[in-house]
Amino acid sequence: MKPARLLAGALLAVCLGAAQAAVGLLELAPRGDDGPVTLFYPTAAAAAPVQRGPFRLQLAWQGAPARGNGRLVVLSHGSGGAPWTYGELASRLVEAGFVVAVPEHRGDNWHDHADVGPASWKRRPAEVSRAIDAVAADARFAPLLQLDRVGMYGMSAGGHTALTLAGGRWSPAVLREHCEAHLADDFHSCVGLSSELQGNWLDAARMAIARPIIRHRMDDAGWYTHTDPRLAAVIADVPFAADFDPASLAQPKVALGFVRSGRDIWLTPRFHIDRIVQACQRCEMVVDLPEASHGSLMAPPPPDPGGTLGRLLRDPPTFDRTLVAPAHARIVAFFARQLLP
């Protein structure tokens, strides 16, 4: 069968699933030092309005889990993130039969920013593995799932987690070298949101202040990896990737797909996703949206926070948000192809 027909068949299966499934929502309690794990899953219970922060969602809160396709997808949120801005993607996955688990990454989530950056990145992959363990230990879900082939999707810092779990190795020292060479062109990757270049004479001072902080913070030449044999398919969406050894992902350990946003001004593609795509010999560009920004596939989109963060996440005027639903369908189809018989 031709690739186009295969994709059409997968998308049809997703659409048929969407007509039959309801989406349940519950939260697994924190275990040890880990945060809670939010679950989206098939259920026969009726959906009702659920308010989470500024988001009003139609979900079946604590509805009894129903059997779906038997597969789990773990979703790793971006820095400062929460499950809700991935609610539409999670719902599309559930409608195709998947259970979706969203672990809250310690020190880098919507209410705790203490460890944003490498401190969190070192922990995140193991937090994904423990989220799988938590689902496996839950008597409501364990009988409904086969955990020998698990999927994983990560966006931004979650994309960094995804690349690690696909077999990549990264080092803070590589990021330090990148920032020494490209500080002006990739400022927010190196500095975060604490400062911003303004295109004026003070920019030289801003970079002069940033350089010693970067050298101190990235004073670690170790290589970091993490593998989980249960993972079989991974998607990295606009990943933070400037600190990876591209050669480590030339032959990824799992099926690896990418989501690329061509007008990402937070993680400039040529410094991040593009260098990994160029190195990878058997990866798939699942979604490539030339006019999308860093946050364009988050749905429902977060309220515009204004300031630097708002500018980095905001859709460009040329982006058509009707492309979001088809992009999510392609992500669901990738996991269906890779994880289902």
Is the pLDDT at 8 greater than 50, yes or no?
no
Is the pLDDT at 336 greater than 60, yes or no?
yes
Is the pLDDT at 86 greater than 90, yes or no?
yes
pLDDT at position 21 is 63
Position 243 confidence tier, pLDDT thresholds 50, 70, 90: very high
Separation CA 277–CA 11 (nearest Å):
24
Separation CA 251–CA 245 (nearest Å):
12
Give residue limits of the domains in the chain: 3-170+224-339, 177-222
Comparison of pLDDT for 1 and 319, the residue scoring more = 319
Q: What is the largest CA-CA distance in the chain?
A: 63
14-67 pLDDT, tens digit each: 444 444 568 999 999 999 999 999 999 999 999 999 999 899 999 999 999 999
Give me the mean pLDDT over the 64-93 stretch. 97
Alpha-carbon Rg for the chain, nearest whole angstrom, is 19
Torsions phi, psi for 72 (to 5 deg): -110, 140
| Least confident span in 153-157, 278-282, 305-309, 329-333 | 305-309
pLDDT at position 49 is 94
199-235 pLDDT, tens digit each: 888 888 888 888 888 898 889 999 999 999 999 999 9
Position 178 confidence tier, pLDDT thresholds 50, 70, 90: very high
Separation CA 291–CA 91 (nearest Å):
25
Is the pLDDT at 288 greater than 70, yes or no?
yes
Is the pLDDT at 316 greater than 90, yes or no?
yes
Is the pLDDT at 313 greater than 60, yes or no?
yes
- Per the listing, tokens 């929502």 go with 25
pLDDT at position 50 is 93
Give me the mean pLDDT over the 233-254 stretch. 97
Structural contact between residues 152 and 165, judged by C-beta atoms closer than 8 angstroms: yes
Position 7 confidence tier, pLDDT thresholds 50, 70, 90: very low
pLDDT at position 194 is 78
Comparison of pLDDT for 263 and 4, the residue scoring more = 263
Q: How far apart are the first and last CA of the chain?
A: 16
Give me the mean pLDDT over the 153-169 stretch. 98
Fold of 3-170+224-339: Rossmann fold (3.40.50)
Looking from the CA of 213 toward its CB, the CA atoms found within 13 Å total 11
Separation CA 255–CA 282 (nearest Å):
8
What residues have CB less than 8 Å from 31, skipping those under 6 apart?
130, 134
pLDDT at position 16 is 40
Percent over 90 (pLDDT), the chain: 80
99-116 pLDDT, tens digit each: 999 999 999 999 999 999
**pLDDT, averaged across the chain:** 92
pLDDT at position 20 is 52
At 269, the amino acid letter reads: P
pLDDT at position 198 is 81
Position 11 confidence tier, pLDDT thresholds 50, 70, 90: very low
